[in-house]
């Protein structure tokens, strides 16, 4: 009887969210989520920050605030982007969002008419695909290799595709592949998008989580024409439960995002922004990140070593320099969606790869998360998974 | 150079948000916002709740959570809706939103194709109009009198209008008019929407803020066919800075809203939901509301009395039984958008009425907020405003 909008035809339940529900049982070893390690959350420091905000400024924290978000936090963000990413911006070019996911919704809404084209890496982040699908675009995927997006392919796509409104990329420790673009590809990318004048979202939730190799500059730091819409977040370095991310972009775009944010949500939570700002006043977040890195490095290394030890040679996997994920590719004939069901029976969970392709037509990938599992569970879980994979091979 | 989506043509800056920025200066007496009185915020109790959450469950609070929101809070909400509104629902039929504004965005996205019709009261809430405009509907306004929407007019509109996808109403202490629908109109409304099978958003942010007259049942409590999409929020009874509201609707709708929420934002902030839930465990929110009511009753009465005393007879205004707003109508030839600029020069602010009409074509209204001004400022501000109004009369 109730008649929904046409866009709902394209909006389906996310594999990840559905799996996360199933995998909440403690007897299941889950590599399915993208969760930071909760034992590393700075609970006491956050509490100190909250108490300080309430004592100094409680009534402001509990009240409505500005759509663009608490100004001192935007100043912190600008200072940190300058220091860590060589991005020189201004608090007026930053708007807070309820995590980067909300940024994806806002930018999709800002740019996309039905039928417009979004260009993205293949595979790409499932949550971005789902956010953009709300606006009924067509997706064009650019092939990738071990160094991320292949720039000759991007050039060819932009030369031959009409109506490209937006490019979406994660150059650092990509979700789901864990791959990072080398410097030369970053330079090529900027040249190509400048040639065609196409704006691009640089989604950088994991950039601070580099535990191997050398720092590489953000695309935004090379952005001469204001084409890069940069996304940052506190979810992976501090707490996802606070839902505070940000968009940094040129004035014309930020002004429009502000209008969208007003209409969609009025503002992010005042209290959350003030507590994170106070945390950054009182504590050194980089000291906190420095505690996270060796743990993730160890867990990633243990997962990769265990896969090397027990996975069949038909299973290819990435060896990330940071972030939260590794990506496994099995022979084409293996459907990892079916495999995930078998794996769950064996008490181990992962995210099947098809959701990371907009058409859902590539079925042999699996995303594994290492950041929130103990050593025991990593070793046991990978052995369980190895048996499940072997059972599926011809 | 950058090419935005067609929907951006309809998305303009909100009068309220722009004014709120101007009126932040302390020398301006502002009746423009819709702010709860900050001096009544239960800062210490919120702090107690936060500390308890961090001690008992800090790592869960800082982590990702479910899209539908923290289950114990949804249980609290269902219990309270049963007790206060005679609405008998289930936590599975409730989803948390970042304030009711986000609910408006989600429901607009769920129902509206470009050109679909939204039916609303005339005038109606500016923020709802702006939220829906993102989805390019046509608006059909139903005339109102001192008792809210005129039901014969609604019947006529639904009988003669194609493609009505959604009705949006605030039956209790409406924003901007302050008017409340009597019982008979509520019954008529339900009969009419059941006859046509059209879903309706019952937005009820102010229902708990009744300081005069008798309780009237929520439409949702009379909803036999699951047509009412009920919106509640903690913004007006506890804290808007936490951005926690909810949608209560039938399963088919909640399921779809959950998909939209996943794609748009993943979830509301875990920590915010847990802190409000803990507050409701530890404290009696109705005792807190009981402290708010006499203050708002007094401020409303003082504003109305002062208007009666000094406003010219050409200015007609409502005398609300609750909520945050009174609505003034001036002669047709007065444009309150121009008047607002003059008023600002005289250090008093209000929201001009045109934004509360989807076409912006009615220019003689003004919305006044009384909840967050001291006695002095109410009396002085109304006298200042009276002089400004008199200066605009022929």
Each residue's pLDDT expressed in tens, for chain B with a length of 394 residues: 578 999 998 887 766 666 667 777 889 999 998 999 999 999 999 999 999 999 999 999 999 999 999 999 999 999 999 999 999 999 999 999 999 999 999 999 999 999 999 999 999 999 999 999 999 999 999 999 999 999 999 999 999 999 999 999 999 999 999 999 999 999 999 999 999 999 999 999 999 999 999 999 999 999 999 999 999 999 999 999 999 999 999 999 999 999 999 999 999 999 999 999 999 999 999 999 999 999 999 999 999 999 999 999 999 999 999 999 999 999 999 999 999 999 999 999 999 999 999 999 999 999 999 999 999 999 999 999 999 999 999 9
Which residues, other chains included, contact B83 with Cβ-Cβ below 8 Å and sequence gap of 6+?
none
Query: Measured between alpha carbons, how far is residue B82 from residues B95, B184, B219, B254 in Å?
Result: 16, 22, 13, 19
Q: Do the Cβ atoms of B316 and B328 come closer than 8 Å? A: yes
Nearest chain A residue to B198 by CA: give it.
A2
Q: What is the pLDDT of residue A17?
A: 63
Residue B241 is nearest to which of A13, A61, A264, comparing CB atoms?
A61
Q: Which residue has the higher pLDDT, A1 or B350?
A: B350
Q: What is the pLDDT of residue A22?
A: 72
Indicate yes or no: CB of B130 within 8 angstroms of CB of A263. Answer: yes
Q: What is the pLDDT of residue A174?
A: 98
A215-245 burial: b if 16+ Cβ within 10 Å, else e: ebebbbbbbeebbbbbbbbbbbbbbbbbbbb
Query: Measured between alpha carbons, how far is residue B321 from residues A91, B45, B216, B286, B294 in Å?
Result: 43, 28, 11, 18, 12
Q: Which of B229, B266, B10 is nearest to B104 (CA)?
A: B229
Q: Do the Cβ atoms of B201 and B112 come closer than 8 Å? A: no
Q: What is the pLDDT of residue B309?
A: 98
Q: What is the pLDDT of residue B299?
A: 98
Angle, alpha carbons A171-A359-A22 (nearest 5°): 85
pLDDT at A21 over 90: no
In chain A, which among 88-107 make CB contacts under 8 A with chain B?
Answer: 98-99, 101-102, 105
User: Using CA atoms, how far apart are residues B383 and B377, in angstroms rounded to an integer?
Assistant: 10
* Residue A239 touches partner B, C-beta closer than 8 Å: yes
- Token readout for A278 is 């106070």
Q: Which of A187, A157, A10 is nearest to B260 (CA)?
A: A10
Q: What is the pLDDT of residue A25?
A: 80
Which residue carries 């059909």 as its tokens?
Answer: B140
User: Using CA atoms, how far apart are residues B158 and B217, in angstroms rounded to an integer?
Assistant: 24
Residue A243 is nearest to which of B253, B262, B269, comparing CB atoms?
B269
In chain B, which among 10-29 make CB contacts under 8 A with chain A?
Answer: 11-14, 17, 20-21
Helix axes B99-111, A251-265, angle to 10 degrees: 90
B57: number of CA atoms within 13 Å, CB side?
A: 18
In chain A, which among 39-68 make CB contacts under 8 A with chain B?
Answer: 39, 41, 43-44, 46-47, 50-51, 54, 58-67
Tell me the per-residue pLDDT of A218-245, one tens digit each, with 9 for 90 and over.
999 999 999 999 999 999 999 999 999 9
Pairing of strands B138-145, A325-329: unpaired
User: Using CA atoms, how far apart are residues A63 and B197, in angstroms rounded to an integer?
Assistant: 38
Tell me the per-residue pLDDT of A260-269, one tens digit each, with 9 for 90 and over.
999 999 999 9
In chain A, which among 161-180 make CB contacts under 8 A with chain B?
Answer: 165
Phi and psi torsions of A372, nearest 5°: -120, 30
The kind and range of the H/E element at A264 are helix A251-265
Provide the sign of the torsion angle of the four alpha carbons A152, A153, A159, A164, taken in this order. negative
Pairing of strands B138-145, B148-149: antiparallel
- Token readout for A238 is 């501090």
Q: What is the pLDDT of residue A1?
A: 54
Alpha carbon of B248: minimum distance to chain A alpha carbons (Å): 16
Q: What is the pLDDT of residue A15?
A: 61
pLDDT at A11 over 90: no
- Which among B20, B71, B226, B271 is the top mutation candidate for probing chain A, defined by the most A β-carbons within 10 Å of its own β-carbon? B271
* Model confidence pTM above 0.90: yes
Tell me the per-residue pLDDT of A334-379, one tens digit each, with 9 for 90 and over.
999 999 999 999 999 999 999 999 999 999 999 999 999 999 999 9
Indicate yes or no: CB of B263 within 8 angstroms of CB of A98. Answer: no
- Which among B1, B6, B269 is the top mutation candidate for probing chain A, defined by the most A β-carbons within 10 Å of its own β-carbon? B269
Helix axes A336-345, A15-22, angle to 10 degrees: 10
Nearest chain B residue to A238 by CA: give it.
B62
Tell me the per-residue pLDDT of A316-340, one tens digit each, with 9 for 90 and over.
999 999 999 999 999 999 999 999 9
- From chain B, pick out residues whose CB is under 8 angstroms from the CB of A51: 47, 51
Q: What is the pLDDT of residue A336?
A: 96
Alpha carbon of A383: minimum distance to chain B alpha carbons (Å): 27
Alpha carbon of A174: minimum distance to chain B alpha carbons (Å): 19
Q: Do the Cβ atoms of A195 and A239 come closer than 8 Å? A: no
pLDDT at A13 over 80: no
- From chain A, pick out residues whose CB is under 8 angstroms from the CB of B11: 256, 259-260, 263
User: Using CA atoms, how far apart are residues A171 and A144, in angstroms rounded to an integer?
Assistant: 11
Phi and psi torsions of B119, nearest 5°: -100, 135
Tell me the residue length of chain B: 394
In chain A, which among 183-212 make CB contacts under 8 A with chain B?
Answer: 197, 199
Angle, alpha carbons A273-A276-A280 (nearest 5°): 135
- Mean pLDDT over A54-77 rounds to 96
């Amino acid at each position: 009887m109730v008649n929904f909008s046409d866009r709902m035809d394209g909006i389906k339940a996310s594999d990840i969210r559905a799996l996360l529900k199933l995998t909440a049982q403690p007897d299941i070893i889950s590599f399915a989520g993208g969760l930071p390690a909760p034992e590393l959350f700075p609970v006491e420091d956050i509490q100190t920050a909250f108490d300080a905000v309430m004592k100094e400024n409680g009534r402001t924290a509990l009240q409505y605030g500005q759509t663009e978000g608490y100004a001192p936090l935007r100043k912190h963000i600008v200072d940190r982007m300058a220091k860590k990413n060589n991005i020189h911006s201004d608090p007026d070019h930053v708007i807070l969002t309820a995590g980067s996911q909300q940024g994806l919704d806002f930018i999709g809404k800002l740019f996309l008419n039905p039928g417009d084209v979004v260009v993205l890496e293949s595979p790409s982040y499932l949550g971005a695909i789902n956010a953009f699908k709300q606006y009924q675009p067509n997706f064009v995927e650019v092939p990738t290799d071990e160094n991320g997006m292949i720039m000759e392919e991007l050039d060819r796509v932009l030369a031959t595709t009409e109506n490209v409104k937006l490019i979406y990329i994660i150059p650092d420790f990509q979700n789901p592949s864990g791959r990072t673009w080398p410097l030369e590809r970053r330079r090529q990318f900027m040249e190509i998008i400048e040639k065609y004048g196409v704006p691009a979202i640089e989604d950088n939730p994991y950039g601070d989580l580099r535990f191997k190799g050398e720092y590489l500059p953000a695309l935004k730091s090379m952005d001469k024409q204001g084409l890069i819409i940069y996304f940052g977040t506190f979810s992976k370095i501090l707490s996802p439960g606070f839902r505070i991310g940000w968009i940094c972009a040129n004035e014309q775009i930020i002004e429009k995002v502000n209008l969208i944010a007003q209409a969609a949500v009025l503002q992010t939570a005042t209290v959350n922004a003030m507590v994170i700002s106070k945390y950054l006043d009182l504590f050194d977040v980089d000291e906190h990140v420095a505690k996270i890195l060796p743990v993730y490095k160890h867990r990633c290394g243990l997962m990769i070593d265990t896969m090397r030890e027990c996975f069949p040679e038909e299973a290819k996997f990435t060896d990330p320099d940071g972030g939260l994920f590794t990506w496994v590719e099995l022979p084409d004939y293996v459907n990892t969606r079916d495999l995930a069901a078998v794996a769950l029976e064996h008490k181990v969970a992962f995210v099947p790869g098809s959701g990371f392709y907009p058409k859902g037509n590539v079925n042999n990938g699996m995303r594994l998360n290492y950041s929130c599992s103990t050593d025991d569970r990593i070793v046991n879980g990978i052995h369980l998974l190895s048996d499940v994979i072997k059972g599926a091979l011809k």
